[in-house]
Structure 1
Amino acid sequence: MKPDTIVESTMDEWAEEARVPAGLADRALRGRTRQRSFRIALIGGTSSLLAGAAAVTLVTGGGSVRPDPAEVAFEPASLSSETTTRTDLSSAFPRRLVAAGHMAVAAYYILNTPLDAERGTLHRTWHLYNPSKGVYEETQWSYLSVAPGMQRAAVLQGALPTSRVGVLDMRTQKVTRWIKVDKPVGGLAWSPDGRRLLLTSYSANPDVLGRAAGKSPRTGYYVVSNAAEPGTFHPLPGIADNPNNRQDLDWSRDGKLIWAPTATVPSKIFYDLNDRRQPAPASDVGDGVPAGAAPGRAGGTSARTAPSDEKAGLSPNGTLLPTFGPRPGPAVTVTDVNSGRKVAVLPIQQALAWADDSQLFAIGCDVKKCTGKGEFRNRLLLVTLKGKITPLTGYRRSDQLGTWIPIFTHR
């Protein structure tokens, strides 16, 4: 019998006796790439061929192949200790890394559909940071999420929702694995430690505008702990009183719970990983309310429980909370949630994210010209609680097509 025939026959027998795990071919191909050549020595018949495959453990008789957990599990995030402020003032669209404190703009997307459009599909063009080149590059992905440490990203390709999720090595900009799902997904979020990936599933594209209010196509979620399989699907339909079609799930700050966005107060509903409703953890109380909700109307709430209309939410140490105003602005007030003491009133339009416990990423316009249409000519800033402002990028027009929205990640 020819060697090729022996190999083919043996592989056919294996296929009948065991289930091959997702990614087995991937591992074999990667092994072949590292070694460049792979030779099988047929010594003493097919028994030597089988012995040569001892690295793969097969459980026959109805069992399954168990991939090496160390090979497919997500490694914990490797965080940078760098806190240097990095700016790119040369363009309205950042080219070089923008960062401050512990955080960085890991990616940004450009909106090609007006935010106030009533029909059509919201389209994003993503730009992802390439740490090997030190620049942001336009990508082919339709949606993405960057893990803490900015070494890997989860990506979706093509029309949403999609039936597979890519795990991207940001240094090589290559997908190392595809995770296939039975329920198509349209949203992604890495856990704070970077070891799990939350996938939000949808029955239809969540970015289609004009769908009837309260009819979000969200169907549920997966919590993925390794790149071999998505794990169990958990049904969790969209919230009826939230008019937004996209209702992506996200993680609590400690990574123990997940939350769903609402359009009311409270702005988040928390669940454990088995979709059981849970009270809001102390570290997350007060984080953002939906756009359009009036600040200060949560009747009877304290500074600790009062929600914020600013994306930044609570400071990393859980003590400071930015809120919009006072009018006419531009102004954002930062309050100590424990004492209720006003810490600062900052001349910015919006607080986007905390760089650390004393600095905020913010959107701001030229204060001297920030009246009427001048408010839409703005840029990304770094502002301290003492009011010191450092421009981070060039100006943009936030009222026009082609404006960009930053995505912040622990660097």
Structure 2
Amino acid sequence: MNTETQIKNACAHLSAQARVPAGLTDRVLAAERAPRRLRRPLGYSLAAGAAALLVGAGVGVTVTHRSAPKPTVRTIAPVTLSSDTSLRTDLGSTFPRHLVAAGHTAVAAYYTAHQGESGGIRRTWYLYDPGTGTYEKTPWAYLDVAPGMHQAAVIEGPLPAPRIGILDMATRKVTRWISVGHKVGGVAWAPDGRRLVLTAYAKDPDVMAPPTGGPGSPQGSRTGFAVVDSATGHGVFHALPPHPGAPGSRQDLGWSRSGTLLWAPTETDPAKVFYDLNGSPRPAPAHEADAMEDAGLSPNGALAAESGPPPGPSVTITNLTTGKKVTDLPIEQARAWADDGQLFAVGCAVKKCTGKGEFNNRLLLVTLQGKITPLTGYHRSDKLGAWVPVFTHR
């Protein structure tokens, strides 16, 4: 299977997750973070049966098997988030250079995707620099930004890699390396900004391979995961093979809103499957497994952003308490909540949202009353090289 076919297949897998048609490349990797539905959403993963050795700042830490005693439960204090809720835009740039932010959320980083020499998709990452107020190109193959936007978790290429780094965003230096005995392809910060989930793979998770066991068989090479403390590197390894029916080969784990569970994407109903921190299946928290826009639930949990009715483009906001529609917003995608009354959204030029015009779009801020504020310049989102934002609480 050549790279062009891989990309087309990935787009076809992901087209059902968005209101926009198949081929929109900012959805090609949406299954990852989460995200992001990855993320950073998603937008949107360590080997089984063996011990891993985590080394942080020169200190060796043993990663134990699933049979190890459960760690003592402790209260995780929330990180201190910025009180700055000012609106920051960059209308003059096709690819944002200056900080884009609104409410309690900011675009902490973004990436552009291109075809790798050996197949699959490669990202070029741009990370916010608080010293300059701009996004700076980085050498990392994968990254995620912690709430508060002081630290980033970074992975060197090629993927999967044997270690991750904790990067100080102000100094741009790695303050701690966490070396793992199994190669890691994905990383996501917990809502507390202190823990990380590392998703391990046997092969590059961005090279899509056809399933080997017939329809419904796993496509990816995920081997397991570890939840680690970013300050100490302590963690516990748990085996977790690919989930049948998951969208594509990248099957990174993300965090529930409370930070008490982990989730992985599926291509069926429900849209997410949940696990406890030991890798055992658990029921989904209310509404968190529902198929909805990347923005998902509002910060207060009262509202949900879902695909709107045809002909569109539109996104419907529903009150989860009453089950009634609050409004239909004239946007293509709802990407993240800025606060309980505003969303980051993708929108195309007014009166040009047909044919190829729907792919000429930009990032917007939209209120529940329908007021739209442009945040960035327009770009073509249906081509490799389009930019994909990573949202973080600032």
TM-score range, shorter chain: 0.7 to 0.9
Say which is worse superposed, 268-277 or 80-89, in terms of deviation: 268-277
Residue 109 in structure 1 maps to residue 92 in structure 2: no
CA contact (8 A) 1:120 1:210 kept: no
Extract unaligned runs of 5+ from structure 2: 1-53, 60-75, 212-216
Q: Among the aligned pairs, what percent are the same residue?
A: 60
5 Å matches for 1:44-123? 77-113=79-115, 120-123=119-122
Distance 1:210 1:393 in 2: 35
CA contact (8 A) 1:77 1:147 kept: no
5 Å matches for 1:68-217? 77-113=79-115, 120-212=119-211, 214-217=218-221
Per the alignment, residue 317 of structure 2 pairs with 334
> 1:240 is matched by which residue type in structure 2?
P
CA contact (8 A) 2:57 2:175 kept: no
SS at match of 1:209: coil
Deviation of 1:278 after TM superposition, in Å, equals 1.2
CA contact (8 A) 2:295 2:305 kept: yes
**CA-to-partner distance for each residue in 1:282-304, whole Å, 9 max, x for gaps?**
3xx245xxxxxxxxxxxxxxxxx
Distance 2:224 2:234 in 1: 13
Deviation of 1:123 after TM superposition, in Å, equals 0.9
> 1:231 is matched by which residue type in structure 2?
G
Q: Per residue, is there more helix in 1 or in 2?
A: 1
5 Å matches for 1:7-406? 22-23=55-56, 77-113=79-115, 120-212=119-211, 214-282=218-286, 285-287=287-289, 307-406=290-389
> 2:220 is matched by which residue type in structure 1?
S
Distance 2:78 2:144 in 1: 16
**CA-to-partner distance for each residue in 1:85-123, whole Å, 9 max, x for gaps?**
100001110000000010000000001149xxxx93111
Distance 1:140 1:75 in 2: 32
**CA-to-partner distance for each residue in 1:338-392, whole Å, 9 max, x for gaps?**
2121111111000001001110100000121111111010000000000000000
Distance 1:136 1:24, change over 3 A: closer
CA contact (8 A) 2:270 2:291 kept: no
CA contact (8 A) 2:166 2:230 kept: no
Distance 1:275 1:346 in 2: 38
Q: TM-score, with normalisation over the residues of structure 1?
A: 0.75
SS at match of 1:375: helix
SS at match of 2:296: coil
Deviation of 1:308 after TM superposition, in Å, equals 3.4
Distance 1:201 1:218 in 2: 6
Q: Per residue, is there more strand in 1 or in 2?
A: 2
SS at match of 1:373: helix
Q: TM-score, with normalisation over the residues of structure 2?
A: 0.78
Distance 1:201 1:394 in 2: 36
Q: Size of the alignment, in residue pairs?
A: 321
Extract unaligned runs of 5+ from structure 1: 1-20, 27-73, 288-306
SS at match of 1:192: coil
CA contact (8 A) 1:350 1:362 kept: yes
Distance 1:75 1:108 in 2: 28
SS at match of 2:356: helix
> 1:143 is matched by which residue type in structure 2?
Y
CA contact (8 A) 1:178 1:227 kept: no
> 1:221 is matched by which residue type in structure 2?
F
RMSD of equivalent CA atoms: 2.1
SS at match of 2:351: helix
SS at match of 2:235: coil
CA contact (8 A) 2:57 2:178 kept: no
